[in-house]
Homo-oligomer: A and B are copies of this chain.
């Protein structure tokens, strides 16, 4: 093959808020109609206060067509093909793009001021639409549905089955468990079991944070002048919050009890974060000098937390910088899956081709192939042959990556 088969491990899709109406269960339509203007108001306010509308408007201008690929399939294909991407992992969309599902069923899955039944209705609306999107070409699109796991585990187990039967291969779970037990608690075992049984990937994606602590109790309506530097704090912590649920799962023995369960963690930073995190976990697993007084917290694990991570997890590395590619041996090359973060403004699109080359140029060809696509194909279970056929048309030329 003269071209690489590229998977973007981090893409997003979502309908304009009003268009979710047709996908919401009939009995929730009235609630939907009432909630819609409020959702719009909150999104506008959040963008004004926290996301600097001017910057976003400037960036949107001229990008409208490509941004509509968040919901318009033909536009989406055009961007993916233009970026050289054969296959993609599709997460729900965020507030920047104003395409979040209704009733708080977006990327952050909050637990405060939320009605569980409605959040589930919003999640199901998104998952139905996502299932249709992926069905356009299942070989290229791997959908990650939304799963408000916390409220009712039986309900979540039913959603796992629905997802598996409807071509939705992964489920996004909340990073924050609010008043519910964290993910080391055994109440979640039926959910892990169902995911393992159906081969459904459990997905963590960055974005959520303890917004009230950082931006004030009235978030997103707070007066930020009382909270200087809040956004700096948010970005400094955001990756910790993404890894935290996985730390609970690793120590909690989730991958001991469910050895075939898979978990991906996406857009969370790699090089500066993972090698020290691995050293820290190994230290606490292997060295007991500093923690003898804390008793036994290891004997339920037959492997170290890092070994579970290597066996059961993979990293969706959005817009991977070259420094991360150079640290691939410390991060774990088999876990690293490149991603474009389309259609988010921090993503590499529509300049992905250049960005890829500057990240990978001169590295061993088989390692580039693994990080650009091979790892994701294996982890998420894509059909390699079908994707190679697509890549033969759209993929980046291997010769461009030779130093």
List A residues at the B interface (Cβ < 8 Å): 50-52, 55-56, 59, 96, 177, 181-182, 184-187, 213-214, 216, 226-237, 240, 244, 247-248, 250-253, 269, 272-273, 275-276, 279-281, 283-285, 289-298, 300-301, 305, 319, 345-346
List B contacts of A297 (CB < 8 A). Answer: 229-232, 235
- The answer to whether A284 touches B235, judged by C-beta atoms less than 8 angstroms apart, is yes
- The answer to whether A293 touches B59, judged by C-beta atoms less than 8 angstroms apart, is yes
- The answer to whether A346 touches B291, judged by C-beta atoms less than 8 angstroms apart, is yes
- The answer to whether B237 touches A244, judged by C-beta atoms less than 8 angstroms apart, is yes
- The answer to whether B50 touches A231, judged by C-beta atoms less than 8 angstroms apart, is no
- The answer to whether B236 touches A284, judged by C-beta atoms less than 8 angstroms apart, is yes
A236 to B240, CA, bound (A): 12
- The answer to whether B181 touches A216, judged by C-beta atoms less than 8 angstroms apart, is yes
- The answer to whether A283 touches B279, judged by C-beta atoms less than 8 angstroms apart, is no
A39 to B370, CA, bound (A): 57
Pairs A–B under 8 Å by Cβ, sample size 18: A50-B295, A52-B294, A52-B296, A59-B292, A59-B293, A181-B226, A184-B229, A185-B226, A187-B226, A227-B252, A228-B253, A229-B253, A231-B291, A231-B294, A232-B298, A237-B247, A240-B240, A290-B346
Min CB distance, A385 to chain B, in Å? 35
A237 to B216, CA, bound (A): 24
Closest 10 CB pairs of A and B: A229-B251, A52-B295, A232-B251, A231-B297, A232-B297, A229-B252, A272-B276, A272-B279, A290-B346, A276-B276
Min CB distance, A315 to chain B, in Å? 16
A276 to B235, CA, bound (A): 15
- The answer to whether A227 touches B185, judged by C-beta atoms less than 8 angstroms apart, is yes
Q: What residue in chain B is nearest A178 (Cβ atoms)?
A: B213
- The answer to whether A293 touches B227, judged by C-beta atoms less than 8 angstroms apart, is no
- The answer to whether A305 touches B232, judged by C-beta atoms less than 8 angstroms apart, is yes
List B contacts of A295 (CB < 8 A). Answer: 50-52, 55, 231
Q: What residue in chain B is nearest A187 (Cβ atoms)?
A: B226
A319 to B290, CA, bound (A): 10
List B contacts of A285 (CB < 8 A). Answer: 232
Q: What residue in chain B is nearest A294 (Cβ atoms)?
A: B231
Report which of B184, B214, B236, B298 forms a contact with A280, defined as CB distance below 8 A.
B236
List B contacts of A269 (CB < 8 A). Answer: 280
User: Are A50 and B228 also in contact (CB < 8 A) when A213-B182, A233-B252 are?
Assistant: no
List B contacts of A275 (CB < 8 A). Answer: 276
A272 to B182, CA, bound (A): 26
- The answer to whether B247 touches A281, judged by C-beta atoms less than 8 angstroms apart, is no
A53 to B244, CA, bound (A): 29
A134 to B272, CA, bound (A): 42
User: Are A293 and B182 also in contact (CB < 8 A) when A232-B285, A276-B273 are?
Assistant: no
A147 to B301, CA, bound (A): 40
Q: What residue in chain B is nearest A96 (Cβ atoms)?
A: B293
A96 to B290, CA, bound (A): 13
Min CB distance, A354 to chain B, in Å? 14
A201 to B228, CA, bound (A): 22
Q: What residue in chain B is nearest A214 (Cβ atoms)?
A: B182
- The answer to whether A186 touches B237, judged by C-beta atoms less than 8 angstroms apart, is no
Q: What residue in chain B is nearest A213 (Cβ atoms)?
A: B182
A186 to B216, CA, bound (A): 12
A50 to B236, CA, bound (A): 31
- The answer to whether B251 touches A236, judged by C-beta atoms less than 8 angstroms apart, is yes
User: Are A280 and B291 also in contact (CB < 8 A) when A184-B227, A247-B233, A301-B229 are?
Assistant: no
- The answer to whether A273 touches B284, judged by C-beta atoms less than 8 angstroms apart, is no
Report which of B187, B235, B276, B294 forms a contact with A294, defined as CB distance below 8 A.
B235
Q: What residue in chain B is nearest A54 (Cβ atoms)?
A: B295
